[in-house]
Chains A and B, each alone.
Chain A
Amino acid sequence: MATAVVAYGLSRRSLSGAALAAAAAPLAYRGVTGAWPGFSTRASDTRVALAGHRGIHVREAIRLEVPVEFAYGFWRRLENLPRFMTHLQAVTDLGDGRSHWVADGPGGSAFAWDADIINDIENKLIGWRSIAGSDIATAGSVRFSPARQGRSTQVSVNLQYAAPGGRAARLLAFAFGHDPAHMIREDLRRVKQLLEAGEIARAAKGAEA
């Protein structure tokens, strides 16, 4: 199913850049970034690239046995993300809500983009999108809600990716493999292991999963 979504997303992108520029209702994008109604979003090519049903959408959720403040605080330090998102090499906080992301590319290469946090509600929500002109157009949000009378936190991730050109499409295909939902699920499993057990389970040397 998820493989089909990738194939669909990639084939859409290979049609033409013009298709991507077509106007579409920004509802999906708003849902992904967690923008509240009335939140002012600047128009950008990211918004256009991810409008409507374009690109890859992934929605996954996980429950963590830590209080919501702890989960939010860990996530908000973006440098922590590569500790459980294995396709990321590094995330650097550049200040003023901007961050620099470096991910694994094909053949041991790397590719990078910058992103802005466009929505940040303490202990509730972090929403971001890549800045205009990036190789990859990406937007996403992580929602934190208390569960089990506040002993646990439910984390809901909503991600959207699109790449406007040939090279970016290849990078994207590499970064997300054949099953982006699976990859995000495994990322969430690792963050759960890290925050609850303090370490990521592995059975053999070199194996992270």
Chain B
Amino acid sequence: MKAVCYYGKEDVRVETVPDPEILNPRDAIVRVTATAICGSDLHIYGGYIPTMLKGDVLGHEFMGEVVEVGPETRRLKVGDRVVVPFTIACGQCYFCKEQLWSLCDNSNPNAWVAEKLYGYSGSGLFGYSHMYGGYAGGQAEYVRVPFADVGPLPVPDSLRDEQVLFLSDIFPTGFMAAENCQIKPGDTVAVWGCGPVGQFAIQSAFLLGAERVIAIDRFPERLALASSFSRAEVLDYSRVDVPQALREMTGGEGPDACIDAVGLESHGTTLDAWYDRAKTSMYLATDRPHALRQAITACRKGGTVSIPGVYGGWLDKFPLGAAFAKGLTLKMGQTHMHRYMPRLLDHIERGDIDPSFIITHRVALDDAPEMYRTFRQKQDSCIKVVMKPGVETRATA
């Protein structure tokens, strides 16, 4: 089959690889009908994620049709149309039972690697390094899905692929980011980063009762989308002093909650951002937490900082003193996908939201190398790339 494979920093290729097989009794094989490139795939593309190997199949946002099931798979049937969560969960361990699905104990065969780095390991992930299990990803024609009765969510035929595909990661991720803000009616939420997760965080904050959302980015098309589609007030950090602007917009109090939807590759124009760039380029630091520093500093006293953006290592110049002094709550982590998917599918079915609003590029799987470049460079107003493995001809929309 055809698959998008990692070959090194800024080097992905479409290769022919062996078709996946049922390996465990609770597996299923899914024929992928739609898959997307995630902002967190760009962390891999940029060489920030350790334990990636040449030839690894990428991709953790995908959906498709079940074509084969293992002997212990009972709920899912061949022919079912499903969206697959990017986190792999067994459904039986302490963490799954506690609804902490992304912390599943039993889905990462290489948990010991993550344990060396983090103390304990999170769940296995599709297409996201050997530290997270080494599972082949979904930017491919077929994919093996472990614990098929637990993760994949059947979707009704009345909804198009593009409307439900983002239930695989970014919609629940944006939603959990907003839920973590513990929003009360009348609250103001500030969101750093207006990429796909930021856009869904903005939408979700309003769904959960926020009165105002202030969105921060520097790309005009992203700010425009946040403003026009999601009714957010927007700040271009390349033009305004963000902390100062937030103070003014909130009567000197600061936002009730701040969401860092940027993560470890944050850009910035202030001194600390250049310091991060210099240190990471010399391998003296692992992450560039400029947005997170700003979110912590800007947040009002007693507020919440919610972090859906991915971090991987040890953060430098982390303003824990400010977080402590203001009594902030920090909430973070990989999304507990299974907790949110059915509820968000309801929102889509009821017409509260059509997640396809973020798609800017619709292409064939063969276009992946070019699209990774385009997405990383933010060229061509690229916000979200959807690839259709069944489609042979280029059909850029």
Contact = CB atoms under 8 A, between A and B. Distances in A.
B166 interface: no
Nearest to A203: B134
Contact of B23 (A192, A196, A202): A202
Given A152-B94, A186-B112, A196-B105, A202 B21 contact: no
Contacts of A65: 92-94, 97
Interface in B1-54: 21, 23-26
A155 to B, nearest CB: 14
A205 B23 contact: yes
Given A185-B112, A196-B105, A197-B106, A205 B21 contact: yes
A9 to B, nearest CB: 22
Nearest to B109: A201
14 contacts: A182-B112, A192-B93, A192-B105, A196-B92, A196-B93, A197-B91, A197-B147, A198-B25, A201-B108, A203-B110, A204-B23, A204-B134, A205-B23, A207-B134
Contacts of A197: 26, 90-93, 106-107, 147
B241 interface: no
A208 to B, nearest CB: 8
A63 interface: yes
A110 B288 CA distance: 52
* A interface residue count range (under 10 / 10 to 19 / 20 to 34 / 35 or more): 20 to 34
Interface string B80-119: 0000000000111110010000000111111110000000
B97 to A, nearest CB: 7
B309 interface: no
Nearest to B90: A197
A209 B91 CA distance: 20
B138 interface: no
B111 A189 contact: yes
A201 B93 CA distance: 13
B263 interface: no
B97 A203 contact: no
A197 B23 CA distance: 14
Interface string A141-173: 000000010001000000000000000000000
A185 B146 CA distance: 23
Interface residues of B, number: 27
Contacts of A200: 24, 109
A199 B136 contact: no
A193 interface: yes
Interface in B302-353: none
Given A65-B92, A65-B94, A65-B97, A201 B112 contact: no
Interface centre among A192, A201, A202, A207 (most CB of B within 10 A): A201
Interface string B55-71: 00000000000000000
A207 B90 CA distance: 18
Interface string B120-158: 000010000000011110000000001100000000000
A200 B90 CA distance: 10
B72 interface: yes
B168 to A, nearest CB: 19
A58 to B, nearest CB: 15
Given A152-B94, A198-B92, A202-B23, A193 B134 contact: no
Contacts of B133: 201, 203
Nearest to A208: B109
Given A186-B112, A196-B90, A201 B107 contact: yes
Interface centre among A148, A192, A197, A207 (most CB of B within 10 A): A197
B116 to A, nearest CB: 10
Given A65-B92, A203-B124, A196 B106 contact: yes
B24 A199 contact: yes
Contacts of B134: 203-204, 207
B54 to A, nearest CB: 15
B61 to A, nearest CB: 18
